[in-house]
Amino acid sequence: MNYVFGPVPSRRLGQSLGIDTIPLKTCNWNCVYCQLGRTVPLTNERREYIPGDVILAQVKAALDTHQPGEIDWITFVGSGEPTLHSGLGQLIRQVKVLSDLPVAVITNGALLYLPKVRDELAAADAVLPSLDAGSADLYRRLNRPHPEVTFERLIEGLVAFRHQYSGKLWLEIMLVRGLNDTLDSLREVAGLLERIQPDEVHINQPTRPPTETWVLPPDNEGLMRATAVLGKIARVVSPASGRFDLSGGQSIPEAIINIITRHPMSRQQIEETLADWEAEAVAQALAELTASGQAQIVERLGTQFWSAAPAHYPADAQSQKTSPKARRSSSTKRNVE
């Protein structure tokens, strides 16, 4: 398994070399909008899920195979909550020894109330925590957190981290139509921003397959309302564009799995990413993933997305949640021909 992937196009970080420190959906949140499906089960245990030396060896190998200018940031992000890895602080510091590239951590921020986690993240050049809700009730409805990571602890941690952190603190809010894009909800968040004092606020929209079928991105009015209420430090972040680097895989199917485990991809994205490879090889790789049951097709927002098979989505929204034989007969026809 590759724990280092990309570089991939990032909405905020250019070409980002991703580092995944935990297995798929190891998380203390179960967000309704998560692109990786439901968290089954929720966990809040910090431990070394993946040996640090294995991760660092893969980071070094990836850096050695890319030329200067091909990577803009090294980013701890992936298939769950990276701060659940108990060795994250040491990994950040050792990565900074390996490279002069800036290091970012994309986190839900739920564990920042712990002094040890704050100290670990202090070594990063940028930290991007989430703040999707301005009240405990909406926090529970949107993020569906582990009982130990309460709304009060989330805010406590963000405020405390800002006081000690000198790097870039970029808060992100994922807007969901009808939930946190209302005037009252945005005003509650704006009040918290005055306490937290982030450098920037990034307004995101669910453009990859959200977990729950009813989740929709905000309309233009909702986006305009958010930028007006959240102030000058807030901006709408456009969906990432560009090519995914799949060169780290030992085979085309493995390369695809390494990406869609963290970034589900639409058929168009897959075709664009694999445009430099022989069409027959691409067709064979997609057929192999389908036949082996390593990938699944999830329909959201009027689009089909390829995601890793272990991800949990509501069954009524999956176009293929049957036997490998059934997936082979229908999914191959739709996505390989």
CA angle 307, 170, 136 (to 5 degrees): 80
Backbone conformation region of residue 162, classed left if phi is above 0, alpha if psi is from -120 to 50, else beta: alpha
E runs forming strands in 21-109: 73-76, 103-106
Question: Residues in the chain, how many?
Answer: 337
Measured distance CA(73)–CA(80) in Å, rounded? 19
In this prediction, residue 333 carries a pLDDT of 32
Long-range (24+ apart) CB contacts under 8 A made by 270-277 are: 270/306, 272/243, 273/243, 273/244, 273/246, 274/246, 277/252
CB 56 within 8 A of CB 41: no
For residue 226, give the amino acid letter. Answer: A
Mean residue pLDDT of the chain comes to: 88
Q: Cβ atoms within 10 A of the Cβ of 119, count?
A: 12
DSSP 130: B
Mean pLDDT of 302-325: 68
The structural domains of the chain, with segments of one domain joined by +, span 4-236, 267-336
Q: Cβ atoms within 10 A of the Cβ of 127, count?
A: 26
Measured distance CA(18)–CA(6) in Å, rounded? 6
Listing from the earlier edge strand, what are the strands of the sheet with 265-266? 265-266, 303-308, 295-300
What residues contact 61, with CB distance under 8 A and at least 6 apart? 4
CB 180 within 8 A of CB 226: no
Measured distance CA(53)–CA(203) in Å, rounded? 35
pTM for this one? 0.88
Computed from CA positions of residues 204, 209, 215, 219, in that sequence, does the dihedral angle turn out positive or negative? positive
Q: What percent of the chain is predicted at pLDDT more than 70?
A: 90
In this prediction, residue 278 carries a pLDDT of 76
Measured distance CA(180)–CA(284) in Å, rounded? 43
Q: In this predicted model, what pLDDT tens digit does every residue of 103-137 receive, in sequence order? A: 999 999 999 999 999 999 999 999 999 999 999 99
Q: Cβ atoms within 10 A of the Cβ of 184, count?
A: 11
Nearest to 234 by CA among 263, 192, 178, 179: 192
Backbone angles phi, psi at 173, to 5 degrees: -125, 125
Tokens of 58: 């893969």
> Which residue, chain included where needed, has tokens 């049951």?
293
Measured distance CA(231)–CA(188) in Å, rounded? 13
Q: In this predicted model, what pLDDT tens digit does every residue of 176-191 receive, in sequence order? A: 999 999 999 999 999 9
Tokens of 75: 């980013």
In this prediction, residue 246 carries a pLDDT of 63
DSSP 318: B
CA dihedral 273, 274, 276, 278 (to 10 degrees): -170
Tokens of 147: 């009982």
CB 215 within 8 A of CB 250: no
CB 161 within 8 A of CB 121: yes
CATH number of 4-236: 3.20.20.70
Please determine, for residue 286, whether its predicted confidence score (pLDDT) is greater than 80.
no
Please determine, for residue 330, whether its predicted confidence score (pLDDT) is greater than 60.
no
Pairing of strands 14-19, 4-10: antiparallel
Q: In this predicted model, what pLDDT tens digit does every residue of 30-65 receive, in sequence order? A: 999 999 999 999 999 999 999 999 999 999 999 999
